[in-house]
A and B are shown apart, each in its own frame.
Chain A
């Protein structure tokens, strides 16, 4: 640093390199771009498709105690500006992840957040206990809002009392930071966010997919085998942004924004709405390098607009003028 402010040097842009790092509660991320659960596998499989070292963090596919085969086809349907999915939480199981995958991930720069999913409250507790001793895990994200399992986590994410009880139990099982992923399919996501905080959550992520459906006009039947599925992609961005804005203002916890993020402007909007970081999901299906491009694009934008830090953006849209 020269000690000379940029403004003192006419015609020269001597701005310091922008600081992309961000603090999300107890998590310190080198940049605010993460990959969303269920859109990037367990990270390593796609090392040829994307440079995951560049990410701020990655969230694993939802892990359950036992491996799950997932739902029967048809599992996805493209819609205007996005897609419906009903994968059914197909995954290799938590033990296989911890034994086979985590060793290859833990020394990489991105923080590893393990997404956990259970059918019963005890499942979440046991999952948290399994993950707890592993240093390579930076945090757990509780999937309490998946719309695609019949007796699944969705009930936990829809009832404030049940949710706070669940988080409290998980809190007693692990010292890892707890991220609770909120469902958009409720009247007041803020109320669920408050409940998660009361249970001891450190961070909220918002939002999971919106429940939707598609019908094949030729067969006159629902497209998805499970009839309903989760809508993701650019189509949900304004809806997700509104929820992030409301939750960030209402609940005194850091928020990770999720929902149709694909461009640098999308990232900025979520940060301005109050998110401390974002997760990129469906856009990775369209282009596996979306997340790393956003890291570059965000840095360029911050340089071009002399934005010194991510922190200066967070929640700016909610502040009075």
Chain B
């Protein structure tokens, strides 16, 4: 393959993402598309969590470790339906002794695709394409001691913040984890995030709408109070959850003078930039692809 032509195209997409991406031109994208494997992963186990949640562990040979916020496209094994693969954040990962990568996908059964994945059995081989997308920049931007991060998850959105919380903890960067849900079972990984945040000189703040765990109410209330307190020293907010929550987080962060990022979610056809179906509307009116330029965007880049 003539390298020059191909490199120019890859660079073109990496730098501009197409015609409507002027506002993101200054961002630091990888120079070339991240090498992703497209292979069959071996299901190790499906851990039943409080319904409708599950944790699926898959061993994938040759897969590179995901950066915080990156995702994979997966489907149940050889099932004709649903037709398209589903996008899942890599929630946790571990290099196995044989050089393969074991990824953990934290899921919630909401339709046919997620139901098929929850029904996987150990030993089954399922298609896995990844890691895909552009992850959080928060870790590389802030070194140890630069400031405090607020991680804000709504329910299953916590899956998108798992690797980030680990990376911050490893980097010695303090963070608090704001975890909101309708009721206690939606805070499915509360103990994991409590442990990580406490190990990173922070704490877990939980709310539920029915008051069955944590404070009764929305997670935006304690977040607003925290960011309103300048002495608390927050410099970054990273969020993943329902659209309404992320929109509120963007507003609260802006009011508090704090920047940040959101791991967005849209319906996806392919996950790798071919179908152009996963458009996210930007604050300048243009569109970006969730799967390629995202899923992580600056809070101020998205038209919420």
Binary A-proximity of B84-109 (CB < 8 A = 1, otherwise 0): 11000000000000000000000000
Taking CB as reference atom, which chain B residue is nearest A74? B267
CB pair B19–A288 under 8 Å, yes or no, is: no
Binary B-proximity of A50-80 (CB < 8 A = 1, otherwise 0): 0001000000010000011111111111101
Interface residues of B in 270-285 (CB under 8 A from A): 270, 272-281
SS class, residues of chain A in contact with chain B: loop
Taking CB as reference atom, which chain B residue is nearest A87? B276
CB pair B6–A47 under 8 Å, yes or no, is: yes
SS class, residues of chain B in contact with chain A: loop
**B5 contacts across to A, CB distance below 8 A:** 44, 100-105
Q: Given A77-B267, A87-B276, are A48 and B36 neighbors across the interface (CB < 8 Å)? A: yes
CA of A100 to CA of B5, assembled, Å: 7
**A48 contacts across to B, CB distance below 8 A:** 33, 35-36
A308 at the interface (CB under 8 A from B): no
Interface size on B, residues (CB 8 A): 43
User: How far apart are A179's CB and chain B's nearest CB, in angstroms?
Assistant: 21
Name 16 interchain pairs, CB-CB below 8 A, sorted by A. Answer: A39-B275, A53-B1, A69-B286, A70-B20, A72-B287, A73-B266, A80-B83, A83-B269, A90-B279, A91-B19, A92-B19, A100-B9, A104-B9, A234-B80, A286-B85, A288-B129
B54 at the interface (CB under 8 A from A): no
**A40 contacts across to B, CB distance below 8 A:** 274
CB pair B9–A233 under 8 Å, yes or no, is: no
Binary A-proximity of B254-267 (CB < 8 A = 1, otherwise 0): 00000000000011
CB pair B269–A45 under 8 Å, yes or no, is: no
CA of A286 to CA of B273, assembled, Å: 13
CB pair A73–B83 under 8 Å, yes or no, is: no
CB pair A47–B1 under 8 Å, yes or no, is: yes
CA of A49 to CA of B132, assembled, Å: 12
**A96 contacts across to B, CB distance below 8 A:** 12
CB pair A44–B267 under 8 Å, yes or no, is: no
A42 at the interface (CB under 8 A from B): yes
A297 at the interface (CB under 8 A from B): no
Interface centre among A77, A82, A107, A287 (most CB of B within 10 A): A287
CB pair A286–B274 under 8 Å, yes or no, is: no
CA of A145 to CA of B49, assembled, Å: 48
Interface range for A: 35 or more
CA of A287 to CA of B83, assembled, Å: 10
User: How far apart are A119's CB and chain B's nearest CB, in angstroms?
Assistant: 16
A311 at the interface (CB under 8 A from B): no
**B274 contacts across to A, CB distance below 8 A:** 39-41, 45-46, 284-285, 288
A18 at the interface (CB under 8 A from B): no
B185 at the interface (CB under 8 A from A): no
Pick from B18, B19, B270, B287: contact of A285, CB under 8 Å: B270
A93 at the interface (CB under 8 A from B): yes
A81 at the interface (CB under 8 A from B): yes
**B6 contacts across to A, CB distance below 8 A:** 44, 47, 104
CA of A200 to CA of B268, assembled, Å: 39
CB pair B267–A76 under 8 Å, yes or no, is: yes
CB pair A85–B269 under 8 Å, yes or no, is: yes
**A288 contacts across to B, CB distance below 8 A:** 38, 129, 270, 272, 274
